[in-house]
Structure formats: structure tokens, C-alpha cells
A = this chain, B = another copy of it.
Amino acid sequence: MTLQTGSLDLMLQYELPAEEEHVIIHESGTIVVPAKYFIDIIRNSQDGIVTVEAKEGSLVVIRSGNAVYRLSSMNAEEFPQMVQVRQPDIKGLPNELLRAFIQQVSFARSTSEMRPVLTGVRCQFNEGHMQLLATDGIRLASRRTNDEDAFYPNPLTIIVPGKNLLQYAKLLNDMEAATDITIVDNKILLRTQNFTMQSLLIDGTYPYVDKLTSESFITVMTVDSAGFLHALERVSLLAGESSLVRMHIQSNGSIELLSQTAEIGDVVEEVPIKELLGDELTVYFNAAYMSEILRAADCAGLTLSFSGPCKPIIIRPLDDAASLYILTPIRSRL
């Protein structure tokens, strides 16, 4: 039994092997019923046994315990078709890695349809590496594998809608299994075990972002991620909706974080720096964006590099040279 749902933008398919899953098929066929009602009926079934029968005249009869449901079915021929899976383009991506990458990168995408290409995650496959990258113009997140064993015969760059990728990450349940990827026309198919997701790709040119980090820095510091994140969360409590925080990097080896809300009050907290190179510096940034980066970076230590008070801040996990986050400071003053 194959279940399919979705729209032209996103389709999901799950195959239940009839024998394994105790499905008895008396007669084969295809029916289309409203998902919302069908799910509720199955969820509320009395004894876990449900019979589904397609009658003449687009009527589907569902029996469960003493209840008899009669649903109007829709025309199966009008249902969007899923692309036929052929030989995958990318084989055997470990689900655990794929899910981590999706979650560590997608948050930085844009959610505005002003520039549709930025609502996507750029996925690149090349000899020896896979890279996922997203940016909304203010912040950027990039993760890359450095696995010499991985071999993607055809270098591939695609832009996948971020929300669909997050949906896929959320629906993954076996982290030991792997995902195969197939590109057909303007669609991507992600397949793991019995589950397949089909998404439209985003058409367009992704902004050129690969040389953003080749600047010379005036200040470079290393901090403990958890300590920095928790201090930032405490200071953000008074940052209001703008989430504006001032960070003063002091030559005494500590960061002073400050925020304030008119008529309520202000807060100051000092955070120790583990290692500091270069000058004192004061920058203003969106604390919510910075916190998201710190959580996504998901490592014990971080290096933050600064080219000036209004230049993009480059954030790199200490233990992962292939990952990179960028946050553009705010020009306004407290």
C-alpha cells in the first residue's frame, strides 16, 4: 500500500509493505480521500482494525468497529503524479549528518518572498565534499563535509526550498539509514527506506558568497560557546523587539554585553574571552540572530573575527574548519 499526499510544490510518499504491516489487500486500486478526515478516522478507530472499500460513484466506505463512514472520493487521475525514481544522482548520505546540516543551516535563509532564491538552501556536491549554505542577506550559515571517501560523480549545485528541507529533516526517523537524492527536471527526490519526498527546486542565481571571508581582520577572539550564549540570552531579556545588543570587546580579556529597553531598564554582563588578538572593538548586533548561530554551531568553542564595527562578523566553530557563520552588525546606536 502506497500513501501519497502533497501539492505540486511538495509531495510525500510512504510505502507500507502489505505483509509486514498487516495490510490485507482484497482488490487493488487507487483512491483519493481528504487527508484530514482520513487521519482522524484512523486515529479514532475503535480496535485498530479498519476496512476501506471503494464503491461505485466515487464513494469510499470505511468501517471501524460499529462506525461506518462514507466519504466522497476525488478523481485519482487529477492527483499530482510523483516523478518516477531512476538511478539516484547522490547515493547514501547518512541521515544523521543530513539532518544536522539541514538544521544547522536552514535557519539563516530568508522567509520573505522578495528574493525567492534566498528562501532556499544551496546544496553543493563535489568531489569529496557536500556543502549546505543559506543566507538572508544579514546572516549566512554554511556547513561542509570534508570526506575524501565521498565521491559524487557529477558535481551538482541545486537550491532547495528551506522549509521543505526542514520538513524532510523532521520526518526522518531512522538516523542509522541513508538518503538517496535524484534530480529530475526542476524537482528533487529525497528517498530513505520506504519514505520519499519530492520538492520543486528554486530556479535562479544564488548570490556569490564564496569570497566573503577573505578579508583582513582587526580583532579575532575565541570564546566558550555555552557561556557566551547564556550571557547573551540573559542580556537579551531587556533588548526588546529589536533584539539590539552592544558588545564591547575589551583589552582586559573580557566582553561586555549591554542592552536596554526604554522605561524598563538596562542590563550589563561580562563574559571572559579565552583568547584575544588585535584591538578593542565595539559592535552592535541582533542578539536573536547571534543566539541562533551559537545554537546551530553546536560546538564547545567559537572564533569570532572582525574587520571593523560595521563589517560582517565571521564565526567559525573551533573543531570544524569547514563550517562558517556570518552575521552583519547593526549600524544603529543604543
- Which residues from chain A sit less than 8 Å from chain B, CB to CB? 34, 37, 40-41, 44-46, 60, 64-72, 230-231, 233-235, 237-238, 263-271
A268 interface neighbour in B44, B67, B264, B268, Cβ under 8 Å: B67
CA distance A143 to B233 in the complex (A): 48
A264 near B71: Cβ-Cβ < 8 Å: yes
Q: Could you give 18 example pairs across A and B, Cβ below 8 Å?
A: A34-B264, A37-B238, A37-B265, A41-B234, A45-B234, A60-B265, A64-B234, A65-B234, A65-B269, A66-B231, A67-B235, A68-B269, A69-B237, A69-B265, A69-B266, A70-B265, A70-B266, A70-B267
Report copies per complex: 2
Query: What residues of B have a CB within 8 angstroms of the CB of A72 in the complex?
Result: 263-265
A269 near B67: Cβ-Cβ < 8 Å: yes
* Distance between A74 CB and nearest chain B CB, rounded to angstroms: 10
CA distance A44 to B229 in the complex (A): 12
* Distance between A153 CB and nearest chain B CB, rounded to angstroms: 49
* Distance between A135 CB and nearest chain B CB, rounded to angstroms: 30
B271 near A44: Cβ-Cβ < 8 Å: no
* Distance between A174 CB and nearest chain B CB, rounded to angstroms: 31
CA distance A237 to B42 in the complex (A): 11
Query: What residues of B have a CB within 8 angstroms of the CB of A231 in the complex?
Result: 66-67
CA distance A45 to B234 in the complex (A): 8
